[in-house]
Chains A and B, each alone.
Chain A
Amino acid sequence: MNSAATHHFAPQEVMSFVDGELTAAESQAAAAHIADCPECSVIADEFRATSQRLAQWQANEAPARLADAVQRSATHAAERNSGRQPAPFTFAKLRRPKVWMYASGGALACTLLVLALPFVLPRHLDRTSAFIAGEGNGRLQSGAGVAGAGLENRQPIQAAIAGAEMDRPSPAPPVSASQPAPMIERSVTMVIVVRNIAASRTALDSMLARHHGYAAQITVYTPERDASSIEASLRIPVPELTAALADLRALGRVSNESQSGEDVTQQHADLEQRLKTARDTEERFRTILQQRTGKVSDVLEVEEAIARVRGEIESMEAEQKNLEHRVEYATISLTLSETPKANFSTEDAASGSRMRNALATGYRNTVGTVAGIVVFLIEFGPSILIWMAIVVLPAFLLWRRYRSIRARL
């Protein structure tokens, strides 16, 4: 603010003084200065003259009906304000930001809920069913194991059938009168969860030695970041089976166990029968060879037949042996898995290579993304430009026109 000592007030300050915008002290100083300064005095007069010229542009009297209409709404509003009438709903209320905020918030919440439902519900159901399945298995013994015991009950039926076959006139030589004991091929499947695979392996080996069994096949899995496991196919002599199974169960927590027995008595009997027949046939051929010495071709024929029969006999004998072995030795299909233990050690030998792999993947992704963008632009760029020309340009021109009209109003 200029003090009275300076020669000039700025013209704007003179204007402020004329408009009464200065403080009392400033006003006084300005008035005093203007009184003495002809230039500032002229400026002040010019401002006042301009204001007076402007005042010549007068407005009409406001129409009377304006007053009535407003009076009426005022009365209604006063009634509402004093609480006698509730405020009516107007569409103007919809323009308030709060309404839109709540509406959009609600819509957003509903949308999210609808989108999330398919993900939430099935997982919930899956977990429930998994829970039911998991808990039950550990304590179940499959029906087959129980049925194995029930096979003994079939013996009388077997005997009856065999007896019936004995009575039936058959082209084969009569079957032996003595009924063989039922031959059951036993197999057991077990899944056990153990604490330590290595210790269990040792225990397994000692168990096999104890029970005079052997392992037909063992596979050990030791993945890097997952639980180790063993899959084994064991053979245990049937008399030792129960004890062996008890030993196995002691290894850990049995999560799955099933036993089955296949009755191969008939199979065996059939084999026996065929063998006998074949042997008899062979015998007869040999007798023929010995007794009748005929033409060379006849002899050769007989020898060929003998060889064929011998081959059949030998294969049948092997099959019989196999069958007998399978009856003598039960098969245990064992799966041992370790309770998964998370690895505490952060010193992962692979983390260095993981970083490197991540870098490589990241670089590939970047290149891929950039290439994708470029490809997109090349593929769609021209079309986008055309659409922009068709749509955006006219809209822009209209907008410009709107602005210019608005400015002129």
Chain B
Amino acid sequence: MGDATIAFNLKSRSTGAGSMYDSMANRPGTPGSDEQLMLAFSQGAAEAFDELFSRYRRPIFGFFWRRVADAGRAEELTQDTFTAVIRASAHYRADALFRTYLYAIAFKVLRAYRRRAAFRATFLGESPSHHDPPAQGDFETGAMVRDAVKKLDPVDREILLLREFEQLAYAEISVLLALPLNTVRSRLFRARTALRNLLASPEPGSAPGKQEERR
């Protein structure tokens, strides 16, 4: 049983929802790793970026799609993210994992979008679009999960999403969100517990540990 557990572990890491990259090829330092490709692109190899793009296109789109209430908007933000990476490509240095770098850029794009949208909503009266992202597959359960996630505390939700969907390690999450590692762990625990309770008893009430307006 112990072995099976370990095998399951590895499996769940490499095939998370929405991730398409092969974890074997992506070990940094090996030829064809993200960092190598990015360095090659920074020196003029256009096809290196194609490979990176194909690896991360869907994950980044999913990243935005889960956080922004509009597929069209998610598409724009994904494009902005990759454009930003392209523009900064001349100065790229392989200091950290490319994946952390990419998600950091995606986060900046997301924050900028949220700021703009909130500004427009506050001062210009435009209401932010409230299309709930449609769920594929089992429509009902997908929608239920989506609604349960929405009820979580914003920071807890972010940590959960980064862990479950973007498959980031605790260390990467703590860097991206500028939180201590222990905080990440405890909040992730809290988020999962809350989500489990929400999914177990689907009531339109508040889950334990949820704080709506805190940021």
Q: Decide whether A and B are members of one complex.
A: yes
Partner of A405, one of B17, B122, B138: B122
| Band of interface residues on B | 35 or more
Q: Is B122 within 8 A of A57, CB to CB?
A: no
Q: A12-B185, A54-B164 are in contact. Are A404 and B136 (CB under 8 A)?
A: no
Asked if A11 CB lies within 8 Å of chain B CBs, one says: yes
How many angstroms between the C-alpha atoms of A81 and B92 in the bound complex?
11
Asked if A59 CB lies within 8 Å of chain B CBs, one says: yes
Q: Is B118 within 8 A of A405, CB to CB?
A: yes
Q: Is A18 within 8 A of B9, CB to CB?
A: yes
Q: Give the distance to chain A from B141, nearest Cβ to Cβ, in Å.
A: 5
**Which listed segment binds B: A67-75, A247-255, A332-340?**
A67-75
Instruction: Give residues 110-142 of B contacting A (CB, 8 Å).
Output: 114-115, 117-119, 121-123, 128, 133-138, 141-142
**Which listed segment binds B: A43-51, A100-108, A157-165, A290-298?**
A43-51
Q: Is A55 within 8 A of B53, CB to CB?
A: no
Q: Which residues of A contact B8 (CB under 8 A)?
A: 48
Q: Which residues of A contact B212 (CB under 8 A)?
A: 407-408
Q: Is B164 within 8 A of A51, CB to CB?
A: yes
Q: Which residues of B contact A35 (CB under 8 A)?
A: 1-2, 5
How many angstroms between the C-alpha atoms of A51 and B16 in the bound complex?
9
**Which listed segment binds B: A26-34, A192-200, A211-219?**
A26-34
Contacts from B to A (Cβ < 8 Å): 1-2, 5-6, 8-10, 12-13, 16-18, 41-46, 49-50, 53, 57-58, 61-62, 65-66, 68, 71, 75, 78-79, 82-83, 86-87, 89-90, 114-115, 117-119, 121-123, 128, 133-138, 141-142, 145-146, 149, 154, 160, 163-165, 169-170, 185-186, 188-189, 192, 195-196, 199, 212-215
Q: Give the distance to chain B from A26, nearest Cβ to Cβ, in Å.
A: 13
Q: Is A11 within 8 A of B2, CB to CB?
A: no
How many angstroms between the C-alpha atoms of A161 and B186 in the bound complex?
124
Number of interface residues of A (CB under 8 A): 61
Q: Give the distance to chain B from A258, nearest Cβ to Cβ, in Å.
A: 79
Q: A70-B79, A401-B122, A405-B121 are in contact. Are A83 and B44 (CB under 8 A)?
A: yes
Q: Which residues of A contact B43 (CB under 8 A)?
A: 81-82
Would you give the 0/1 interface string for A69-104, flagging 1 where the beta carbon is closer than 8 Å to chain B?
Answer: 111011101111111100100101000000000000
Main secondary structure of the interface of A (DSSP, over half): helix
Q: Is A50 within 8 A of B196, CB to CB?
A: yes
Asked if A317 CB lies within 8 Å of chain B CBs, one says: no
* A63, closest chain B residue (CB): B75
Contacts from A to B (Cβ < 8 Å): 11-12, 15-21, 27, 31-32, 34-35, 44, 46-51, 53-63, 66-67, 69-71, 73-75, 77-84, 87, 90, 92, 398, 401-409
Q: A32-B2, A71-B50 are in contact. Are A62 and B122 (CB under 8 A)?
A: no
How many angstroms between the C-alpha atoms of A58 and B82 in the bound complex?
22
How many angstroms between the C-alpha atoms of A90 and B83 in the bound complex?
13
Q: Is B53 within 8 A of A57, CB to CB?
A: no
* A92, closest chain B residue (CB): B87
Q: Which residues of A contact B118 (CB under 8 A)?
A: 402-403, 405-406, 409
